[in-house]
Copies of this chain bind each other. A is one copy, B any other.
């Protein structure tokens, strides 16, 4: 992602980010984490998604099954920022709605902002946190210790 500096401001509790058309949400949050050296954070937001790919884990085949939705309101975005192998690790979920108002969503694999914007509030925490794969359940878990 190109320079992210113009896309957020500091707040008393962290940051407020406004992304616009074609911005990659996960890449933008990663760029913020690196630029501000965020030890860990949680975030929430709303917006309009041009393309959102959700992944539901298939316990038999042990893969995320992707499904992509175009041009939907994002009713809610929630997630966390941590680190893994020296890189930001973004974990994000969303509920999106289209022209029939029905909500779909889950675990975000990829998300791009649509014609409009996405407003994301980031709560900055002070402890550096890592994510680690737990072999027993193949889940990527946020480690507190």
Contact = CB atoms under 8 A, between A and B. Distances in A.
Q: How many copies of the shown chain assemble into the complex?
A: 3
Contacts of A91: 46, 119
Interface in A75-124: 75-80, 91-95, 97-99, 101-107, 115-117, 119, 121, 123-124
A4 B97 CA distance: 32
A9 B78 contact: no
A123 B11 contact: yes
Interface of A: 6-9, 11-13, 16, 18, 20-21, 40, 42, 44-46, 48, 54, 56, 58-59, 65, 67, 71, 73-80, 91-95, 97-99, 101-107, 115-117, 119, 121, 123-127, 137, 139, 141-145
